[in-house]
Structure 1
Amino acid sequence: MTQPDYDPGPQIAYAGSIGLGTPDLEKSLWFFRDLLGMEVVEQVDGVAYLRGYQEHVHHSLVLTQQEEAVVNSYGFRVKRKQDVELFHKQFENQGLRTVDATGRERGRGEALRFLVPGSEHPFEFYYDIERPIAEESLRSKNLSNSSRRRGLGVRRLDHINLQTSAATVNQAEGWLREELGFKRREFARIPQAPDVIMASWLSVTSQVHDIAIGVAAEDRPGQFHHVAFNVENFHDILTAADQIRDLDIAYGAGPGKHGIGQAMYLYIHDPGSGHRIELYSGGYHIYDPDWDALEWKLPELQLGQTWYGDVLDVGPGGSFLSTTPSAGLVP
C-alpha cells in the first residue's frame, strides 16, 4: 500500500567535495589543473575551485593557500534542499555542536558544518550548488561532459579515506551508518583486537565506498589518508604511472588492483601540499538492497589490499600509513 506522505528523513546523495590546504598553491594548481586535467572554475583571494571533466557542479575540489597542509573540509551533498535543515535539527537533538558554513565556499548555498563524533573530521552538508558552463575554449561537444578531457583525465571525485584512533573508530564508523545512512560494504577487524574495526568501506550510492574509515598509524583522530579521483579505465592508470615517473612527484604506491572494491589504483602526492591522492578506475557496484558486508580476514586480507601489483607498505612505519591532519570545527 502506497503512503504518499511518507518521508524517509534527511539523506546524503554523494561525497561531493574536499577542501585541501596547501602551502604552495601554484604547485598544487599545476598538479591538479595541468597534470590531472581538472578545470579551474573560479580562483579568488588565494582559493581555487576545481572540477573534473564530467562534473557539472561548481566544484569538487577547493585548494586554499595557507601555511599548513591540512584538510579544511569534507563536503557531502544531501538529496533535498530541506535535508540541510533536517540534519541540523537531528544533530541539535543529539547535542552535537554545529556551525553555519553558508558562504564558506563560493558557488554553494546553505551549508552546515560539524565534527563527526569519535573521528572529529569536519564534515559539511549542502544541497544548493551552482552549475556553471565552462569557458568556450574548454567546452566539449559531448553533453555529459562539463568540459573537454585534458591531462590525465580526472572525471570526478570518487571517494574519501579517513582515519582515526583505535579507541574511537568503532564509534565513528557506527555513527556514520546509524545517523547518516552509510551502508557497510566491506570491512576488516584488527587481528589482535577482533572487536575493533581496522577499516570499513561505506557508501550511500551503488559504489563499494563513497567513504572509508580506519585506524590511523598515529592513533589519533581527524586524520586524512587520501582522496580518490576517478579516471575512465585501467589504461589511464598505466599512462599516469608512466608519465609521472618523469616528473618531480612523490610516487606512493601502484599501479595495482585492490581486492577490496576491485578497482585499479595509483597513489601519488600533490607536490604543493603533500596530501595523498589516488587515481582510481573500475570497481564493482552494489544493487542488492540486502547486501551482507564482506569481512576480510588473514591471510586473505593482503589480497584485499593488493590483488595484484605494487604491494602496499602497511607494516610498522610503512610509507602508506602516513596521513595529514584535518581542521577543527572552526577552521
Structure 2
Amino acid sequence: MTFDIIRSARAILHVTDLEKSRDFYIRGLGFIETEEKDGALYLRGLEEHVHHSLVLKKAEAPVVEVMSYKVRSNEDLDSLAGFYEQNGYRVKWLEEGSQHAVGRAFRVQDVAGLPLEYFAKMETVERMLQRYDLYQGAKVQRIDHFNNMVSDVEKTHDFYMKELGFSCSEYTASEEEKVWASWLHRKPSVHDVAFMNGIGPRLHHIGFWLSDPMSLIHGCDVLAALGYSSSIERGPARHGLSNAFFLYVRDPDGHRIELYNGDYLTSDPDFKPIRWDLNDKRRQTFWGAEAPDCWFNEASTVLDVHTNKPVPTAPAKLKQHKPTFVI
C-alpha cells in the first residue's frame, strides 16, 4: 500500500434554507462560521485550524454531496487515485482552484456506492480553541466520523481494511458470525467511519467531537431554549460500542448529527477488535434505553459524484430486524 489516508475531514451537505441552517449549526451546536460564499456556508469546530469541516450548500433538496478524507500528500493522492482506477473505479479529478479553500482532490463512488472525496491540502485559519468568548451552544470542537448504512457490511468492511488500510476497533456479529456493523479508523480513535446493515448506500450521521459530557448537556439546554427541542432525536446517553457519551440531533432538513465525547485510544498495533453480539442490548446504549424507530429507518440520500443524481439504494443483505448498534 503506497498511500496514507489520515482521517475523516469534511462533508458537504445540501440544505434548503441557509439561514435556518446557520441558526441551528452556529447558535445551537456552536460551529464557527469561516465564511459564506456562492450560496454555501463553510463551518468548522473550535479547535480546527483548517478552513472548514462542514459545508452547507443551498439546494432544492437535502442530500449528501460527498464525504471527504484527508491524505498525507499529493503523492498519496496520486497513488490512491491510481489504486482505484486499476481496480475499475471511475475517478473524477477536481484541480486546485475548482473548489473553495481546498487543493487538488478527486472523487469516487466506493465499493458500497458512497460518494467519497480525497484531498491533501486545505487553507488554514485561526484556531479558536482558547477563544472562550466565542463558545456557544454545544461548543463543537472537530469532526470525528461518518456513519453509513450499506447493503453489504462485510464486503465494505473487508474493502476498507484490506485495500485502504483501515483498522477495526469494534464490530457487531450475528450468531452466524456475519459482520452486522463495523467501526473502522485511520486516526487512533474508535472510528473515522462506521458501516451498518441497512438499506443503502445512505449517510446515517456525521459525528462531531465535544470536549466533555457537560458540553453535550449544555447543548441540549441551548437547543431547547432556541426552540429546537423537537430536533433532539436520541440521548443524551452512553454507547456500549465505543464507550462514548452521545446525543443525536436532526438539522432543519433532517440530516442527522451526532455530538460525541469520550471514546478511547486505538493506536497500538496489537489492539484487538472488540466483538459485540447482536443480541447484547448494552451495545446500543450501555444503560439499556432503546432508540426510536426513526433512528433505524431514516438516513440521508447520497449523490453520484459523476451525475450529481441520487444513488439508487439496495436492501440489506442480512435479514432485517430492529438493530440497536449505530454510533
TM-score bracket, normalised by the shorter chain, equals 0.7 to 0.9
Name the counterpart of 1:207: 189
Kindly state the Cα deviation for residue 148 of structure 1 after the two structures are TM-superposed. 4.0
Name the counterpart of 1:121: 114
Give distance in 1, aligned partners of 2:173 and 2:20.
Answer: 38
Cα distance 1:72–1:147, how it changes in 2: closer, same or farther (>3 A)?
A: farther
Name the counterpart of 2:214: 235
1:82-93 superposed matches below 5 A: 82-93=75-86
Structure 2: 5+ residue runs without aligned partners? 309-327
SS at match of 1:261: helix
Give distance in 2, aligned partners of 1:294 and 1:146.
Answer: 37
Aligned residues: 304
Cα distance 1:84–1:253, how it changes in 2: closer, same or farther (>3 A)?
A: same
1:255 and 2:273 are equivalent in the alignment: no
Kindly state the Cα deviation for residue 61 of structure 1 after the two structures are TM-superposed. 0.2
Kindly state the Cα deviation for residue 236 of structure 1 after the two structures are TM-superposed. 1.2
Report which stretch shifted further, 63-72 or 145-154. 145-154
Give distance in 1, aligned partners of 2:98 and 2:210.
Answer: 29
Name the counterpart of 2:246: 265
SS at match of 1:17: strand
Kindly state the Cα deviation for residue 213 of structure 1 after the two structures are TM-superposed. 0.6
Report which stretch shifted further, 274-283 or 146-155. 146-155
Q: Aligned AA for 1:67?
A: E
Structure 1: 5+ residue runs without aligned partners? 1-7
Name the counterpart of 2:312: none
- Is this contact kept in 2: 1:264–1:280, CA < 8 A? yes
1:88-237 superposed matches below 5 A: 88-102=81-95, 103=97, 105-117=99-111, 119-133=112-126, 142=130, 148-165=134-151, 168-191=152-175, 194-216=176-198, 219=199, 221-237=200-216
Q: Aligned AA for 1:266?
A: L
- Is this contact kept in 2: 1:257–1:309, CA < 8 A? no
Give distance in 1, aligned partners of 2:257 and 2:140.
Answer: 12
Cα distance 1:261–1:203, how it changes in 2: closer, same or farther (>3 A)?
A: same
Kindly state the Cα deviation for residue 114 of structure 1 after the two structures are TM-superposed. 0.3
- Is this contact kept in 2: 1:101–1:124, CA < 8 A? no
Cα distance 1:104–1:25, how it changes in 2: closer, same or farther (>3 A)?
A: farther
Cα distance 1:318–1:100, how it changes in 2: closer, same or farther (>3 A)?
A: same
Report which stretch shifted further, 286-295 or 242-251. 242-251
Give distance in 1, aligned partners of 2:104 and 2:233.
Answer: 37
Give distance in 2, aligned partners of 1:151 and 1:309.
Answer: 28
Kindly state the Cα deviation for residue 241 of structure 1 after the two structures are TM-superposed. 2.1
% identity of equivalent residues: 31
SS at match of 2:246: strand
1:284 and 2:260 are equivalent in the alignment: no
- Is this contact kept in 1: 2:68–2:116, CA < 8 A? yes
Post-superposition Cα deviations, 1:109-168, rounded to whole Å, max 9, x if no partner, equal: 000100111x1111100001110237xxxx66x4xx799433320000111101111xx3
Report which stretch shifted further, 200-209 or 247-256. 247-256
Post-superposition Cα deviations, 1:77-135, rounded to whole Å, max 9, x if no partner, equal: 00222111111111111111110133453100000100111x1111100001110237x
- Is this contact kept in 2: 1:57–1:132, CA < 8 A? yes
Give distance in 2, aligned partners of 1:156 and 1:319.
Answer: 23
Post-superposition Cα deviations, 1:30-64, rounded to whole Å, max 9, x if no partner, equal: 11122212111121121111100100011100100
Q: Aligned AA for 1:279?
A: L
Kindly state the Cα deviation for residue 238 of structure 1 after the two structures are TM-superposed. 1.4
1:51 and 2:30 are equivalent in the alignment: no
SS at match of 2:242: coil
Name the counterpart of 2:73: 80
1:10 aligns with one of 3, 19, 30: 3
Q: Aligned AA for 2:270?
A: D
- Is this contact kept in 1: 2:34–2:43, CA < 8 A? yes
Kindly state the Cα deviation for residue 262 of structure 1 after the two structures are TM-superposed. 0.6
Name the counterpart of 1:3: none
TM-score (norm 1): 0.86
Give distance in 1, aligned partners of 2:140 and 2:115.
Answer: 25
Give distance in 1, aligned partners of 2:295 and 2:186.
Answer: 30
Which 4+ stretches in 1 moved above 6 angstroms?
none
TM-score (norm 2): 0.87
Report which stretch shifted further, 121-130 or 8-17. 8-17
SS at match of 2:163: helix
Report which stretch shifted further, 88-97 or 120-129. 88-97
Report which stretch shifted further, 237-246 or 168-177. 237-246
Give distance in 2, aligned partners of 1:101 and 1:9.
Answer: 21
1:321 aligns with one of 297, 306, 309: 297
Name the counterpart of 2:324: none
Give distance in 1, aligned partners of 2:177 and 2:61.
Answer: 35
